[in-house]
């Protein structure tokens, strides 16, 4: 245990602690009005998120000590388990904010679609690192995408369009890290383009026929231009426009901790999806820019670990987790700024959310395990070189 702690990436570890504690502080600041007026407990969200962070760190240190090779024996069980949970949710899931995405455990609601992101990254890393693709077998190459398509379809049915799109993006980005021959990739790209084009065409035709596969909430989210023109609606336009008001009110240096006005129930999801505008309103645009730079630095550290990996599995895990963090941040920030459709996904380390936070700790424990194994390999290689010199 002590050896592993010494060999993990220290800057990445301390950044996680800083971001988690800062997020916990801002969740309390953004949520105490709602918690007090509606829930009757000012500290409700603070206590719950704090509990999840503690559980997350416990999981983090457990996973830190599990060699990556151990997952090869159990990854199929984990993958089928996630798919099974997603199927179970169709009829028995708990509905929150219009999506049947949660398993109700009383004090804690588990969202399997969040865990599916990391499970798919790990599955793809194991699958592509343990097989040689020398024959022209595209089904074999695309097998992980078959499982991915099943998961995306089940998540879309909940309905949770934002998470489904992020899972798709993570899979494509992770695949790009796999050393497949160019001629294979060109043909695969044509096949994938045909499938995606067919899906888009199906959506367009169904919308024109009046039988759209998108619900009303999803249609509203796709209309993300000029959100303040739809300010009177209780929906994405209302939320994004109030987010603009929060950002504009914060200016460069903010109004001060606890002085946000938009959290007084003007911004419905101020402690979850819209935590970023509240941070800017209270601490200013400069702090918002600093947060974005910290995300980029975290991604940079992960990519360094991935590049230094002595095995393909570790490299793919690194690229997958960096893409996970990138797309999750991009979709949240882009949505609250009105640059892309609002999908209602949390911001890494800063938003309130149990399953999402827990999965983040699991993901970062895996990349730290890659770092540990990189350093162990270097240490063993140095010993072997010393022996040869003697």
SS (H, E, C) 317-382: HHHHHHHHHHHHHHHHHHHHCCCCCCCCCCCCCCCCCHHHHHHHHHHHHHHHHHHHHHHHHHHHHH
pLDDT for position 159:
81
| DSSP code, position 228 | G
- 71-113 confidence digits (pLDDT tens): 999 999 999 999 999 999 988 888 887 788 888 877 778 899 9
The encoded tokens of residue 201 equal: 């065409």
Give the pLDDT band (50/70/90) at residue 215.
low
Task: State how far the Cα of 320 lies from the Cα of 155, in Å rounded to an integer.
Answer: 19
pLDDT for position 233:
54
The encoded tokens of residue 384 equal: 């072997």
Task: State how far the Cα of 229 lies from the Cα of 341, in Å rounded to an integer.
Answer: 15
| DSSP code, position 38 | I
pLDDT for position 351:
93
Task: State how far the Cα of 60 lies from the Cα of 361, in Å rounded to an integer.
Answer: 6
pLDDT reading at 320 higher than 80: yes
Give the pLDDT band (50/70/90) at residue 289.
very high
Stronger pLDDT, 174 or 231, i.e. the higher one: 174
Instruction: Identify the helix (H) or strand (E) that includes residue 299.
Output: helix 285-307
pLDDT reading at 236 higher than 80: no
**What are the DSSP calls for 163-215, one per residue?**
HHHHHHHHHHHHHTTS---HHHHHHHHHHHHHHHHHHHHHHHHHHHTT--SS-
- Report the candidate in 246, 228, 245, 249 with the shortest Cα–Cα distance to residue 237: 228
Positive or negative, the Cα torsion across 191, 193, 196, 197?
Answer: negative
Task: State how far the Cα of 169 lies from the Cα of 153, in Å rounded to an integer.
Answer: 14
Percent of the chain with pLDDT over 90: 44
Would you kindly state where each structural domain of the chain is located, as residue ranges? 2-389
- 35-54 confidence digits (pLDDT tens): 888 877 889 999 999 999 99
- Report the candidate in 62, 60, 65, 67 with the shortest Cα–Cα distance to residue 17: 60
């Amino acid at each position: 245990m002590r050896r592993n702690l010494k060999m993990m990436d220290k800057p990445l570890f301390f950044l996680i602690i800083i971001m988690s504690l800062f997020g916990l502080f801002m969740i309390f600041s953004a949520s105490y009005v709602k918690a007090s007026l509606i829930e009757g407990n000012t500290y409700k969200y603070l206590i719950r998120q704090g509990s999840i962070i503690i559980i997350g760190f416990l999981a983090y240190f457990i996973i830190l000590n599990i060699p990556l090779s151990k997952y090869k024996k159990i990854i199929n069980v984990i993958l089928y388990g996630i798919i099974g949970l997603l199927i179970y949710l169709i009829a028995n899931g708990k509905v929150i904010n219009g999506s049947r995405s949660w398993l109700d455990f009383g004090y804690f609601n588990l969202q399997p679609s969040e865990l599916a992101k990391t499970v798919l990254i790990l599955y793809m890393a194991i699958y592509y690192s343990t097989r040689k693709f020398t024959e022209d077998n595209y089904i074999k190459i695309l097998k992980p995408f078959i499982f991915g398509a099943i998961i995306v379809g089940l998540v879309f049915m909940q309905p949770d369009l934002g998470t489904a799109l992020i899972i798709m993006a993570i899979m494509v980005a992770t695949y790009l890290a796999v050393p497949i021959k160019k001629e294979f990739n060109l043909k695969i790209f044509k096949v994938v383009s045909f499938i995606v084009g067919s899906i888009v065409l199906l959506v367009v035709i169904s919308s024109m026929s009046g039988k759209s596969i998108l619900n009303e909430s999803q249609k509203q989210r796709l209309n993300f231009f000029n959100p303040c023109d739809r300010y009177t609606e209780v929906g994405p336009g209302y939320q994004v426009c109030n987010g603009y008001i929060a950002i504009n009110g914060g200016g460069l240096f903010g109004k001060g901790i606890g002085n946000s006005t938009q959290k007084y129930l003007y911004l419905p999801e101020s402690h979850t999806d819209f935590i970023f505008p509240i941070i800017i309103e209270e601490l200013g645009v400069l702090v918002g820019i600093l947060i974005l730079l910290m995300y980029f630095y975290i991604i940079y550290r992960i990519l360094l670990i991935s590049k230094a990996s002595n095995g393909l599995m570790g490299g793919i895990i690194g690229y997958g987790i960096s893409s996970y963090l990138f797309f999750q941040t991009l979709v949240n920030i882009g949505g609250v700024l009105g640059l892309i459709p609002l999908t209602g996904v949390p911001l890494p380390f800063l938003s309130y959310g149990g399953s999402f936070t827990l999965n983040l700790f699991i993901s970062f424990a895996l990349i730290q395990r890659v770092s540990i194994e990189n350093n162990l390999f270097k240490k063993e290689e140095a010993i072997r070189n010393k022996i040869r010199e003697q």
